[in-house]
Structure 1
Amino acid sequence: MSAPNPVPAGGPAVDGPHDPEHDPRASYGLEPDYVEGLTRRLVATTGRTAPLESPLNGAPLAHVPQSDAGDVAEAFKQARRAQAAWARTSLEERSAILMRLHDLVLERQEEILDLIVWESGKARKHAFDEVFHVALTARYYARTAHQHLDTERKLGIIPGLTRVEVNHVPKGVVGIIAPWNYPFTLALCDGLPALLAGNAVVTKPDSQTMLTALLGARLLDEAGFPADLWKVVAGPGSEIGTAIIDRADYVCFTGSTATGKHVARQCADRLIGCSLELGGKNPFLVLRDADVERAAEGAVRASFSNAGQLCVATERFFVADQVYDRFVERFVARTQAMTLGATHDWDNDMGTLISQAQLDTVTAHVQDAVGKGARVLAGGKARPDLGPYFFEPTILEGVTPEMTCFGTETFGPVVSLYRFHDEADAVARANDGEYGLNASIYSQDGPRARMLARHVKCGTVNINEAFAATFASVDSPMGGMRESGAGRRQGTEGIRRYTESQSVATQRLMRFSPVLGMSDETFAKVMTANARLMKKLGRA
């Protein structure tokens, strides 16, 4: 796999020899010229670089050029110029480019999958989730553009005389701060509706997965989006995050709750909007009438997809007494049968954690729980034989409130099991804590499960599925309640957040003031009579 772009003046953006026999990246097929072609997409003039290593085995992948506040300012300057022209293009043209992106993503999926796995270490089949989700999102918004963005007629105060329309106009330049755990879909999917709505984007992907985000930016170029409409900067959020928020017309952030609160405060100071998808401690309810085998299969995906490094992953299982033992037996058996590996192979059921920091957190949570009396039913230890940051899929029983993993998000392949006697108690325990992102309910009684879902304080609830039913249904909103976030991605809410609603009212004939010598008192009586008539006619 090579890059068509020439090496930029000033030398390569990565260290290391170009001799494939001695380049540690050669075993991955990641050529230095290819990396340079991607990093040229950055707005970064500091001369500083940050090393990027693969979590698969610690091999160096790149030295990524770093941006500063001045680069952020330049990125916004270029994006604003591009946005002014882009906002005047037709919705049909914007949609057509999105459809070309859909096709490109599917055609180039092997390249995308390779890069996701190199940077994140996730199993290849979990990397495909990202490719598929980006394609779904691009196609959905392209096909439904008019539904979300066309001017809408609204009721006027005087029927036939007051014409009211609502326009959905772009905010301007959207700032997106994206995480490392889903480096392709979260680098692109929040920004695609922003572009369709007529905005430009300045994005800061996480430093651990910059190359995947830059490949996404290249595909946007190849699909036909105008130059400078999508600008990418690189650097720690603590250094350039504030510069983005200080210039954006709207901010989209995905990450920790602590950082999300900081972002929200900065946005509030500027009176700009933001959407935040934050942490979770997601519950999974197995009711007494659940199909145990189906629930156990879903439990493995809910817990260990992307090694548990997924905002909507399950960390807490509440299982009815009637099926507890059978469910635990099947869940443990399926977990122990998983194929583990830090490779590019399709047959891996789970890949590695992304970093030493994630491994340290997961290890500390398990050791704390075991030290305080929790029992390990499966997994429970690091696997350096598989990869430097690999940790086994782990199931714990007997977790109590004094243990760290009881209420604190682990964000790794560690789950806890709890029995329940009463469904109302199970829902109350599922709602315990401050998070409310995703939940699953397994039952063969669909209406009852859906009724129960209304009482679960989570933004998405999946019936007889782990998370994919809501995550992949891009016509429906997705986001968190309580400290799991604010705002929604996907669906109408996912694109309207990037627009301003503008009401335009045209008044015909009658004016809203006395006419022909009418007194103010008489005018008030006329308007009162009109209000009563409208009520009688059933008007709003």
Structure 2
Amino acid sequence: MSAQNPTPAGGPLTEGPRDPEHDPRASYALEPDEVARLTRRLLATSGTTAEVRSPLDDAPLAHIPQSTPADVAEAFSRARRAQVAWARTPISERAALLLRLHDLVLDRQDEIIDLIQLESGKARKHAFDEPLHVALTARYYGRTAEKHLGTERKLGVVPGLTRVEVNRVPKGVVGIISPWNYPFNLALIDGMAALLAGNAVVIKPDAQTMLSALIGAELLDQVGLPADLWQTVAGPGAEIGGAIIESADYVCFTGSTATGRSVAKACADRLIGCSLELGGKNPLLVLRDADVEKAAEGAVRASFSNSGQLCVSMERIFVADQVYDRFVERFVARTQALTLGATLDWGNDMGPLISQRQLEAVTAHVEDAVAKGARVLTGGNARPDLGPYFFEPTILEGVSPDMTCFGKETFGPVVSIYRFHDEADAIARANDGQYGLNASIYSEDGARARFLARHVKCGTVNINEAFAATFASIDAPMGGMRESGMGRRQGAEGVLRYTETQSVATQRLIRFGPQFGMSDEMYAKVMNANLRLMKKLGRA
């Protein structure tokens, strides 16, 4: 495809830095013993394997043994037996395991980042985000475990005579279906919270990125997680995904809205809970008083981190009239300065897309928009000269509702930019559509931006930041509204979702019924008098 406005020379036409030890035109196949070391943690007895190819060069990377529905059933059986003892393990010991994991992840982060890049193709600085976020999450839950999961005292109905406690009881075995775009991070952060709450885990990572998830399982082994508590299976969702839902006590799914609906229906049929992080068409608002340079820098990260293959990345930017021209100039210039490259070293700003399928989807969105009158301000082209699945970071103007990319998630390095006249109009347009995952507002008036944030129908809103402020603030819950999902990861909600609430009340001295020779009528009068007294005393 040829863009209306081809990217000028000096923009992303230039390949990024090349590490002599990692020639981007050489095969990135892993050593057989390394693959064997990781895949021994798979429960897979089908006798078949699936080939994984690296997006960096489309060369074979590894062959992954595949699981059967019977393997899934066995994984749950093993996990369920191990979970009984784990649920009795003191919270402090579970928390200590996460703090050990924090240190080990940081110690082995170079190896982890290499593996993430090999399987996902993302630039090294974006792969670095994954062990960083895992370490943050492990430390947070390791330090706050007792606060979230310890027994709580509640008000009893009769002061001094009714003692009420609330316990957090683990669900049992949690089934996790994790995606390819953040394969190490999203395999571990949801599972760590489940383990902390006293559960076992059976996880099915995406087929493209099994090894990034399996190195997480290896790290859990090395910090002392008891045997069988963490089970990993491999195979297409259509073949073994249903088996996971059939056996799980709770399901955590990250992926498309269409698949999320199917997961929710299957969980509803079994009357089990689920948490779902699904699609998004996330908006970024640049208000009239925004720092234009800061907003342009944030918009580049918001739109093109991990080649736009990030659930919370921005695909729609709304800019106030007063700063529109200046913002567009700076945003385009910063985008054109990005470097693209298929290497494992630091220095690249963007890597390839994950697959041919994703490249075709992104290309189709841009071609459709251009054919219907959208203008390409920069980018717009696939770049096979850099690697098989590269697509230039692309900014579109003049996108209208009849274009596919107007309302449908692209999940690639493509963003549409729109002008707005007043803030009420901007909020209404930001809320248009069915999604509600993440948003960003740039303004020098923080109080005003926070006021507007309350009217944006998204689960997270970042002020003067792209997405990292909420994403990295582990004490705050993260998740979507509307068709972007249900439930939350991070914070108290991220661990309490894996528990059942159990209330235990101990009654002393008196019973709830007539006593001391009272009639039923006299008992009722006494209870009524007590209710009025408690109200006067300010009792809840």
Same fold (TM over 0.5): yes
Partner of 1:532: 532
Partner of 1:415: 415
Partner of 1:40: 40
Partner of 1:189: 189
Pairwise CA distance, 1:313: 0.3
Partner of 2:67: 67
Q: Report Cα offsets for 1:372-401 as digits up to 9, x if no partner.
A: 000000100100011101100000000000
Q: Report Cα offsets for 1:174-199 as digits up to 9, x if no partner.
A: 00000000000001000001101110
Q: Report Cα offsets for 1:210-251 as digits up to 9, x if no partner.
A: 010001100110011011110000001111011000000000
Q: Within the alignment, does 1:82 sit opposite 2:85 as a pair?
A: no
Q: Report Cα offsets for 1:49-88 as digits up to 9, x if no partner.
A: 1110000001111111111110000000110111111111
Partner of 1:19: none
Aligned partner of 1:353: which letter? L
Partner of 1:347: 347
Task: State the alpha-carbon separation in 2 of the partners of residues 25 and 318 from structure 1.
Answer: 40
SS in structure 2 opposite 1:457? coil
Task: State the alpha-carbon separation in 2 of the partners of residues 507 and 288 from structure 1.
Answer: 62
Partner of 1:11: none
Pairwise CA distance, 1:27: 5.0
Aligned partner of 2:311: which letter? C
Checking the alignment, whether the CA contact within 8 Å between 1:25 and 1:31 is kept in structure 2 is no
Q: Report Cα offsets for 1:380-431 as digits up to 9, x if no partner.
A: 0100011101100000000000000000000000000000001001000000
Task: State the alpha-carbon separation in 2 of the partners of residues 176 and 525 from structure 1.
Answer: 54
Count of matched residue pairs: 517
Checking the alignment, whether the CA contact within 8 Å between 2:28 and 2:54 is kept in structure 1 is no
Pairwise CA distance, 1:517: 2.2
Q: Report Cα offsets for 1:486-506 as digits up to 9, x if no partner.
A: 000000000000011000000
**Could you list the runs of 4 or more consecutive aligned residues of structure 1 that deviate by over 6 angstroms after TM superposition?**
none
SS in structure 2 opposite 1:441? strand
TM-score (norm 1): 0.95
Task: State the alpha-carbon separation in 2 of the partners of residues 102 and 252 from structure 1.
Answer: 22
Aligned partner of 2:231: which letter? K
Partner of 2:454: 454
Partner of 1:435: 435
TM-score (norm 2): 0.95
Task: State the alpha-carbon separation in 2 of the partners of residues 325 and 524 from structure 1.
Answer: 74
* Cα root mean square deviation, aligned: 1.0
Question: Structure 1 residues 201-210 or 514-523, which shifts more?
Answer: 514-523
Q: Within the alignment, does 1:93 sit opposite 2:93 as a pair?
A: yes
Percentage identity across aligned positions? Answer: 80
Pairwise CA distance, 1:265: 0.4
SS in structure 1 opposite 2:88? coil
Cα 1:146–1:25 change in 2 (3 A) is farther
Residue correspondence of structure 1 range 205-284 to structure 2 within 5 A: 205-284=205-284
Cα 1:336–1:114 change in 2 (3 A) is same
Task: State the alpha-carbon separation in 2 of the partners of residues 224 and 61 from structure 1.
Answer: 29
Task: State the alpha-carbon separation in 1 of the partners of residues 177 and 461 from structure 2.
Answer: 26
Task: State the alpha-carbon separation in 2 of the partners of residues 26 and 448 from structure 1.
Answer: 52
Aligned partner of 1:399: which letter? V
Pairwise CA distance, 1:253: 0.3
Task: State the alpha-carbon separation in 2 of the partners of residues 442 and 59 from structure 1.
Answer: 42
Q: Which runs of 5+ in 1 are unaligned?
A: 1-23
Partner of 2:368: 368
Partner of 1:152: 152
Pairwise CA distance, 1:89: 1.1
Checking the alignment, whether the CA contact within 8 Å between 2:27 and 2:59 is kept in structure 1 is no
Pairwise CA distance, 1:28: 3.5
Q: Within the alignment, does 1:392 sit opposite 2:402 as a pair?
A: no
Task: State the alpha-carbon separation in 2 of the partners of residues 158 and 365 from structure 1.
Answer: 64
Checking the alignment, whether the CA contact within 8 Å between 1:174 and 1:252 is kept in structure 2 is yes
Task: State the alpha-carbon separation in 1 of the partners of residues 524 and 123 from structure 2.
Answer: 70
SS in structure 2 opposite 1:44? coil
Pairwise CA distance, 1:364: 0.2
Partner of 1:306: 306
Task: State the alpha-carbon separation in 2 of the partners of residues 510 and 354 from structure 1.
Answer: 67
Aligned partner of 2:477: which letter? P
Partner of 2:110: 110
Pairwise CA distance, 1:25: 11
Aligned partner of 1:386: which letter? L
Checking the alignment, whether the CA contact within 8 Å between 2:30 and 2:62 is kept in structure 1 is no
Task: State the alpha-carbon separation in 2 of the partners of residues 514 and 360 from structure 1.
Answer: 75
Cα 1:424–1:499 change in 2 (3 A) is same
Task: State the alpha-carbon separation in 1 of the partners of residues 427 and 25 from structure 2.
Answer: 49
Q: Report Cα offsets for 1:430-481 as digits up to 9, x if no partner.
A: 0000000000000000000000000000000000000000000000000000
Aligned partner of 2:44: which letter? A
Task: State the alpha-carbon separation in 1 of the partners of residues 451 and 363 from structure 2.
Answer: 38
Q: Which structure is higher in RCO with an 8 Å CA cutoff and minimum separation 6?
A: 2
Checking the alignment, whether the CA contact within 8 Å between 1:25 and 1:61 is kept in structure 2 is no
Aligned partner of 1:227: which letter? A
SS in structure 2 opposite 1:203? strand
Q: Which runs of 5+ in 2 are unaligned?
A: 1-23
Task: State the alpha-carbon separation in 2 of the partners of residues 209 and 86 from structure 1.
Answer: 28
Checking the alignment, whether the CA contact within 8 Å between 1:25 and 1:59 is kept in structure 2 is no
